[in-house]
A and B are shown apart, each in its own frame.
Chain A
Amino acid sequence: MNQVRSGDMDKSGKSKSVSADLGTKRRTQRIGEQLRRVYDEVAQEDIPDEFLRLLEEADQARTSKPSDKS
């Protein structure tokens, strides 16, 4: 988690106060968390049956091809 950062982030020499830094970090984390939650909210829904049915149908169409000799 807390890896060394190899000086590639040029912060133009500005040093922030510890409290501002903590506040920034807290808020930044919150934005990141919310972004992931907006995404995860969908990703964690139950998958509608239709998806798996369509995938199975596509697979069946392959295996039932008369010319298909596996």
Chain B
Amino acid sequence: MTDKTEKLSDNEFKRELAGLIPHLRAFARSLCGDATLADDLAQDAMLKAWNARESFQAGTNMKAWAFTILRNVFYSEKRRSWRRTPLDPEVAEATLIANNNPADGLDLLAMRNALAILPIDQREALILVGAGGMAYEEAAEICGVAVGTIKSRVSRARKAVAEILDSNSAGYSDDSEMTAGEAFEDIMQQADNIAGVG
């Protein structure tokens, strides 16, 4: 009786996991860039999550749990081709053009390129906290590091992105009076808000 309370039924689990597929795809894309390889990674992670469903505790954050699995797959299966494929700005550009409203193009391209330049540990921290909806604590668990380490990576990543966007004026010319340092201070506040501090 009570031993079942912390488990979802398989059907409930499947429904929740299916609902997370868009996030698995988005996180995978941010890790390996190439859309086909990213989907390969996301599928692998989804199936591993399914197979590990007994270890998922109902009431905890399945998205964070699934992100952890996806990230482990990405880093552990070094033989797989996604591991060796860095984010390619040309691929990013092609994807962007294929997917997007032309009016949004330059801004998003600049951001994609900025992300592509970041070291992977900073990029994943920034994506998890800044776009994936993870709290610092959750991102820290996903990446297997201390909360302070995640905060530091996010902080460095945001500063680097601001500087890259500064140096690449496409899409930013009307804010050219702003320095990266100024932007950075508020970015950190915004990150705290996004991460649900308080």
CB of B59 closer than 8 Å to a CB of A: no
CB of B8 closer than 8 Å to a CB of A: no
Chain A residues in contact with chain B, CB under 8 A? 1, 3, 5-6, 9, 11, 16, 20-21, 23-32, 34-45, 47-48, 50-52, 54-55, 58-59, 62
A37 and B18: CB pair below 8 A? no
- Binding site secondary structure of chain B: helix
Write 10 A-B pairs (CB below 8 A) sorted by A numbering.
Answer: A3-B198, A6-B198, A23-B182, A31-B187, A35-B161, A38-B115, A39-B26, A41-B96, A42-B26, A51-B21
- Binding site secondary structure of chain A: helix
CB distance from B40 to the nearest CB of A (A): 10
Q: How far is the CA of A48 from the CA of B102 in the complex (A)?
A: 24
A45 and B99: CB pair below 8 A? yes
* Choice from A21, A35, A47, A58 contacting B25 with Cβ under 8 Å: A47
Instruction: Classify chain B's interface size.
Output: 35 or more
* Choice from B22, B99, B175, B186 contacting A47 with Cβ under 8 Å: B22
The 8 closest A-B pairs by CB, nearest first: A39-B131, A42-B26, A34-B111, A43-B26, A43-B22, A28-B186, A36-B131, A35-B130
Q: How far is the CA of A38 from the CA of B99 in the complex (A)?
A: 11
Determine the chain A residues whose CB is within 8 A of the CB of B107 once the complex forms: 30, 34
CB of B108 closer than 8 Å to a CB of A: yes
Q: How far is the CA of A52 from the CA of B186 in the complex (A)?
A: 41
CB-based nearest A residue for B23 = A43
* Choice from A31, A35, A45, A47 contacting B183 with Cβ under 8 Å: A31
Supposing A24-B185, A32-B190, A51-B43 touch, asked if A59 and B131 sit within 8 A by C-beta, the answer is: no
* Choice from B25, B47, B111 contacting A45 with Cβ under 8 Å: B25
Determine the chain A residues whose CB is within 8 A of the CB of B51 once the complex forms: 58
CB of B126 closer than 8 Å to a CB of A: yes
Determine the chain B residues whose CB is within 8 A of the CB of A41 once the complex forms: 96, 99-100, 108
Additional A-B contacts beyond A35-B127, A38-B111, A45-B25 (12; CB < 8 A): A21-B186, A24-B178, A35-B115, A39-B131, A40-B26, A41-B108, A44-B22, A47-B22, A51-B42, A51-B46, A54-B43, A55-B17
